[in-house]
Amino acid sequence: MTMINAYDPGRTAGIAAETAALIERRRRLLGPAYRLFYDNPVHLVRGEGVFLYGPNGEAYLDAYNNVASVGHCHPHVVAALARQAAILNTHTRYVTDGVLDYAERLLASLPPALGHIMFTCSGSEANDLALRIAKAATGGTGVIVTENAYHGVTDLLAQMSPSLGPAAPLGPMVRAVPAPSGDDGASFAVGVAAAIADLAAAGIRPAALLVDTIFSSDGVFADPPGFLAAAVAQIRAAGGLFIADEVQPGFGRTGAGMWGFARHGVVPDIVTMGKPMGDGHPMAAMAARPDLLARFGEKLRYFNTFGGNPVSCAAGMAVLDVIEGEGLIAAADRVGRLLKAEIRGLRPCYPMLGAVRGAGLFLGVDILDEAGEPSGVLAGRLVNALREERILISATGRLGHTLKIRPPLVFTETHADMLVQGLERAVNWVAA
Ligand SMILES: Cc1ncc(COP(=O)(O)O)c(C=O)c1O
């Protein structure tokens, strides 16, 4: 991956002895392919709400982790998990009611056209299934993604995840288009049209446009709402489907309903979801139009051993309870707007801070050098300076120059103030 915010394994300065010993043990046991965040990796033992805790009780403000989206170890989710684990845990080859109750509730949050939902264990598996269905339904094989997209860990998805860098080249059927730029997002549809033409010139029929609807790894592009619609029309006109990858923006993060695509006024043909779905419990899903799934299902069966198991469904139900019961979508909108305004308020004093983008509690802040150019190096220093302030964020974008702020949705105005004050101290420290 264009490795952003990665610990350099040779580095030992400033790292606590206990943490250094664990890092060495990880290297020995887990091998070289995993990465740690930060120059000074964070050792965690516990989480609660928007805070993570180190071994000596030190608290970190979590402004980054969207998986624990309703808060770390939310008691309602923990209780639901424990209760169901003590009753029954099997799979989708038996008749159980939990999976149906959950499917009904999730489908009710999606547009009526998406009539079926299937469960997986990870976002990668959900995207893989979506692509199989899209290929079966369209007869096409071409896939269009954005130029710094990330869609998953499998061999297939690595070929559609240019953010992994040159060691994971794009597949021959894949075309990457620039993320939206400019104020109207219109460039995006232009890029998609060019990619469709390029596929056609190579004799490849498109199967799908696969897009993270908040463009997380491209640098967080949310505005203006609606710009995706023109690109969706292009892919459909060419015979392909629109797959909305909601793994990052889904479950209320954008503060405008449950799903990121809704801000764009489009109804996807297929939706994939994951990360925040179980508040940390590994679960994911794919929802599709019944006519598309029919063509796949007639010929093939699908069994995912753990996908849709009763314990996961109980966790997923509990997450939906919390999102609704605690009003987290409205809160994401309210706190996100405040955070955006407060960070924008710092800009006149700190030229290092560039554009502030995003929706709800998913913000991207561009970091600029003295010449006003995007700087991944300075963004990296800020991320590490904030870590020393015990505030956790990361960076994103092709150059790693965009701060990625994406806290659990239970982040309040008080937490937003803590983050902004920490950011101001970090900017002063990095600029000095
Ligand atoms: C947009 C997007 N899609 C898919 C995935 C893959 O999900 P998972 O890691 O659960 O397989 C990710 C993970 O980071 C993601 O960000």
Please state, in angstroms and as integers, the Cα–Cα distance from residue 5 to each residue in 17, 36, 119, 148, 253, following that order.
Answer: 21, 8, 32, 16, 23
Q: What is the pLDDT of residue 415?
A: 98
Q: Whose alpha carbon is nearest atom 13 of ligand 1?
A: 152
Pocket test for ligand 1, best of 248, 277, 286, 404 (most atoms within 8 A of CB): 248
Q: What is the pLDDT of residue 4?
A: 81
For 130-141, give one letter per residue: b (16+ CB within 10 A) or e.
bbbbbbbbbebb
Euclidean distance between the first and the last CA atom of the chain, given in angstroms as a whole number = 30
Strands 51-53 and 362-367: unpaired
- What's the rounded Cα separation, in Å, for the pair 394 and 391? 10
Q: If you measure from the C-alpha of residue 216 to the centroid of ligand 1, how many angstroms do you get, rounded to a whole number?
A: 10
Global pTM exceeds 0.75: yes
Picking from 149, 215, 209, 212, the residue whose alpha carbon sits closest to that of residue 180 is 215
Q: What is the pLDDT of residue 152?
A: 98
Q: What is the pLDDT of residue 414?
A: 98
Q: Whose alpha carbon is nearest atom 4 of ligand 1?
A: 151
| Stretches in the chain below the pLDDT threshold 70 | 1-2
- For the four alpha carbons of 417, 63, 47 and 426, in that order, the dihedral sign comes to negative
For 232-323, where are the E strands, in sequence order? 241-245, 270-273, 284-288
Q: If you measure from the C-alpha of residue 163 to the centroid of ligand 1, how many angstroms do you get, rounded to a whole number?
A: 12
List residues near ligand 1 (CB under 6 A). 122-124, 127, 150-153, 212, 216, 245, 247-248, 274-275, 284
CA angle 190–193–197, rounded 5-degree value: 140
Contact between residue 420 and residue 63 where contact means Cβ atoms under 8 Å apart? no
Pocket test for ligand 1, best of 151, 253, 281 (most atoms within 8 A of CB): 151
